[in-house]
Structure 1
Amino acid sequence: MANTLRGSGRSYIMNLRQKLGKREWAIAAAGFAIVLLTFSFISSSESDSSPLNDHLHNFSGPTTDLVPIVFLKNAAQRGAYCLDGSVPAYHFQKGFGSGTNKWLLHIEGGGWCNTVASCSFRTTTALGSSKYMDPQVQFSGILSNEQSRNPDFYNWNKVKIRYCDGASFAGHPESEQKIDTKLFFRGQLIWEAMMDELLSIGLSNAQEALLSGCSAGGLATLIHCDDFREILSKDAKVKCLSDAGFFLNEKDIASNASFQSFYHDVVNLQGAAGSLKKDCIAKMEPSKCFFPQSIVKSIKTPLFLVNPAYDFWQIKNVLVPGPADPHGHWHKCHLNIHNCSPEQIQVLNGFRNSLLQALSDFKQMKNVGMFINSCYIHCQTWTETWHGPNSPKLNNKTIAESVGDWFFDRKVSKLIDCPYPCNPTCYNMDFTGPRFH
């Protein structure tokens, strides 16, 4: 399916490019790049033929049962719809044994849309319409039901929340009135309807619960972390985990605040300010409160951050977006970090330093944890990089072991890697294969 969508997407984009002006095209292209790159990435867990699944073959093992899709029963009643008006969905695997009253929720990633054009494009994919979602998916990594692959959470009730609103579950329907289109900006309503339904099937009895998410789902986790804590029993142990969701408010290599501008458009288009921390938007322009660095300052619920210091998605879309590299000097570096020149590595280390600086205050906070490795990768919790003999390690701990230490209060877990290329356990993405061209 991903290949089909990429093919139809190229035709759509070429037609659109002819209709838009230079500035409008640049904005739309940023949105398409986010959708296409991240869509190919998230599809890897759901398709044996996906290119990233090929690249992660070293982590492969026995396949788990396929988990069927469930469409929200209360969607129409709550007005909770995907971008195209279809019904949102999730996948649910029931817990067993000691995990009967323990819940793990994982929010799917997939970028954002910042214009009517880019949101309309998403309605032709699973990132904007449940019509294109796979009827069943495999659960792996943090969602695995095998103890050897997921030692602390394998027998919990597990939910994969599908992402189809384009604004990290923060859009509000009032913003639909600003545009002449049939798009639905209902992210906040989807979140509320999703929680209502999960509460009705057993989440309300949770003794322990972990809300997690990858990429845009990691940002959604940060946005809704305290909301998740509030809907559960005060006696329950509730924590949050954001994987590759700490997006930096950094200028690109051309000194343009391109990503800040992109977030500004996302927030304004979808009315996302209504889901952001009130104390933050009272102090600054709302889109700045869409950045994790602003959000984590106000989160009261215990939080763990998993993030690569050399996040290939952020390097591609925040630090060195296409317009900032018109002559393609960074092309080979984007494909494989081993191809980066010493000067480019120096720039990447500057980006790493910005991440560590942004995390400096967070690191001092009580009840927080972090696993910041120096791998060239993006999300690491829902694939076999989560836990296994070949998984990335810090202090001889896998991500799963580090998160478990933190969640169950076994020990303090605030791990930060040394700069690239010091960690031999890293799995670094390589996009030089023919299937990426």
Structure 2
Amino acid sequence: MSSLGFVVIFLALAAKGGLATILSLTLLRDATEQGAVCLDGSAPGYYYKKGSSEPSKWIIHMEGGGYCANELDCVNRSHTDLGSSKNWRKTSFQEGFLSDNCLVNPHFCGWTKVFIPYCDGAFFAGNVVNPVRVGSDTIYFRGIRILDVVIGALLELGVKSADHVILTGCSAGGHATYLHADHVRNMIPRNVPLHAFADAGFFLDAPNINGQYVQREIIQYIYKMQNVSNGGVNKACLAAMSTDEQWKCLFVPYTYSYINTPIFTYNSPYDTWQLENTLQLNCLPPLCSDAQLKLLKDYGQEFLKAVSPAIQSSTNGVFLDSCLVHCQSLSTITWIEFRVSNQTIGETLYAWITGNTEKYNTKVIDCTFPCNPTCPVL
């Protein structure tokens, strides 16, 4: 799509209700009785908007936002909106996949939308029974309980009789989608179709530019700190691993092959969060040297190797663009403008979910960076 074409669409969107969809907050105050609380002990909740033309079809999106790597980090996080619901706004404005504007989101605009705020710091996976005392602060690691009470509330709101459900999220929320797809599948009646759609959640267990496995060390610590093995990761993965390697089930490349729920991987092999935090490359093109650019491209090749089970799967979908981005599904621009093999992610996802593959391929893999002209110019 040309820049002029996008401007025309942007103006049309503004004329037809704007770009953002407004969802309203429900706090689950009774959840505290079940120990389902944010890091600071406040109640979890969700944002919701009933669909217009297809209200019995649901999109449930889990928010991203990194992680807290140790207890003190979690204390600091507990004083923010990523660790406490005390200052959550009454409404949430969402675009892209959660848009109800049919010019932006033609295949899913009429679906019911849910946005689950992230306030546990560990991919909705922790489950420590007792409160954790850190200096003068008390924090709680209860992510899987939060997910359980929210899904429970949504079941009563209409999910238990839904025509279709898509579980999704980006970044940490995309990571959580891989971790919990089968868990949520087991909570929802079997006659309700469920697909999972993970955006920017396929994080590699890879070394940085100095050969150090920094992210591995962090994930290993989170696994123990938040007692993730108590319901917070894929049970089949845990059963397959020796005790000293069960932490791997908190890493997507290791747990992917144990996921039974149909799942769609949406990622860039050159994901900017991973380039900065996993590879720890201190530049982005065009400000990289030739040597740094080679490291970036090598990381992209390692990503393609790691994601090969998704590419080779006979049932799961894949959309891998070569853009320097992180989290794409909730952006209007990336949702409607970025293309691979002349198809958008929305078109690809819808073809995969419906099985209508006559027009669109459901395994879409881009050429090597920086080949894609639809990617933004940095």
- The match for 1:128 among 69, 83, 91 is 83
CA distance in 1: counterparts of 2:9 and 2:187, whole angstroms: 36
CA distance in 1: counterparts of 2:215 and 2:7, whole angstroms: 33
Q: Which residue of 2 aligns with 1:279?
A: 236
* Identity between Structure 1 and Structure 2 (%): 35
- The match for 1:90 among 26, 46, 63 is 46
Q: Which residue of 2 aligns with 1:182?
A: 138
Q: Residues 234-245 of structure 1: matches in 2 within 5 Å? A: 234-245=190-201
What amino acid is aligned across from residue 68 of structure 2 in structure 1?
Answer: C
Matched, 1:296 2:256: yes
Q: Is the 8 A contact 2:29 2:44 kept in 1?
A: no
User: In structure 1, the residue corresponding to 2:270 is in which secondary structure?
Assistant: strand
Q: Is the 8 A contact 2:234 2:258 kept in 1?
A: yes
Matched, 1:228 2:174: no
Q: Pick which of 255-264 and 177-186 moved more.
A: 177-186
Q: Which residue of 2 aligns with 1:378?
A: 326
Q: Which residue of 1 aligns with 2:365?
A: 416
- The match for 1:404 among 350, 355, 366 is 350
Q: Is the 8 A contact 1:74 1:193 kept in 2?
A: no
Residue by residue over 1:249-302, the C-alpha shift from the partner in whole angstroms, topping out at 9 and shown as x without a partner, is 001111111110011111111111222223323414222111111121011111
Residue by residue over 1:105-146, the C-alpha shift from the partner in whole angstroms, topping out at 9 and shown as x without a partner, is 011000111211100111121100112322212121110001
Q: Is the 8 A contact 1:215 1:244 kept in 2?
A: yes
Aligned residues: 359
Q: Is the 8 A contact 2:41 2:140 kept in 1?
A: yes
Q: Residues 89-128 of structure 1: matches in 2 within 5 Å? A: 89-97=45-53, 99-128=54-83
- Cα offset, 1:176, TM superposition: 4.1
Ranges of 4+ aligned residues in structure 1 off by more than 6 Å: 56-59
User: In structure 1, the residue corresponding to 2:258 is in which secondary structure?
Assistant: coil
Q: Pick which of 232-241 and 150-159 moved more.
A: 232-241
Q: Is the 8 A contact 2:174 2:200 kept in 1?
A: yes
Normalising to structure 1: TM-score of the pair? 0.78
Q: Is the 8 A contact 1:142 1:386 kept in 2?
A: no
Q: Which residue of 1 aligns with 2:316?
A: 368
Normalising to structure 2: TM-score of the pair? 0.90
Specify which structure has the higher proportion of helix: 1
- Cα offset, 1:59, TM superposition: 8.9
Distance 1:361-1:64 versus aligned 2 partners, 3 A rule? closer
Residue by residue over 1:337-372, the C-alpha shift from the partner in whole angstroms, topping out at 9 and shown as x without a partner, is 222222211111111111110111222212101111
Q: Aligned-pair RMSD on alpha carbons?
A: 2.0
CA distance in 2: counterparts of 1:386 and 1:206, whole angstroms: 28
Q: Is the 8 A contact 2:173 2:201 kept in 1?
A: yes
CA distance in 1: counterparts of 2:313 and 2:145, whole angstroms: 31
- The match for 1:258 among 189, 214, 235 is 214
Please list every run of 5 or more consecutive structure 2 residues that lacks an aligned counterpart in the other structure. 1-5
Residue by residue over 1:139-191, the C-alpha shift from the partner in whole angstroms, topping out at 9 and shown as x without a partner, is 21110001111111111111000000000010002364686751010101101
CA distance in 2: counterparts of 1:193 and 1:363, whole angstroms: 33
CA distance in 1: counterparts of 2:175 and 2:278, whole angstroms: 15
Q: Is the 8 A contact 2:61 2:115 kept in 1?
A: yes
Q: Is the 8 A contact 1:59 1:384 kept in 2?
A: no
Q: Which residue of 1 aligns with 2:272?
A: 312
Q: Which residue of 2 aligns with 1:172?
A: 127
Residue by residue over 1:391-421, the C-alpha shift from the partner in whole angstroms, topping out at 9 and shown as x without a partner, is 1101111111111111111114111111111
Matched, 1:343 2:291: yes
User: In structure 1, the residue corresponding to 2:189 is in which secondary structure?
Assistant: coil
User: In structure 2, the residue corresponding to 1:210 is in which secondary structure?
Assistant: strand
What amino acid is aligned across from residue 118 of structure 1 in structure 2?
Answer: D
Matched, 1:191 2:147: yes
CA distance in 1: counterparts of 2:8 and 2:169, whole angstroms: 23
CA distance in 1: counterparts of 2:211 and 2:335, whole angstroms: 38
CA distance in 2: counterparts of 1:386 and 1:375, whole angstroms: 10
Matched, 1:153 2:108: yes
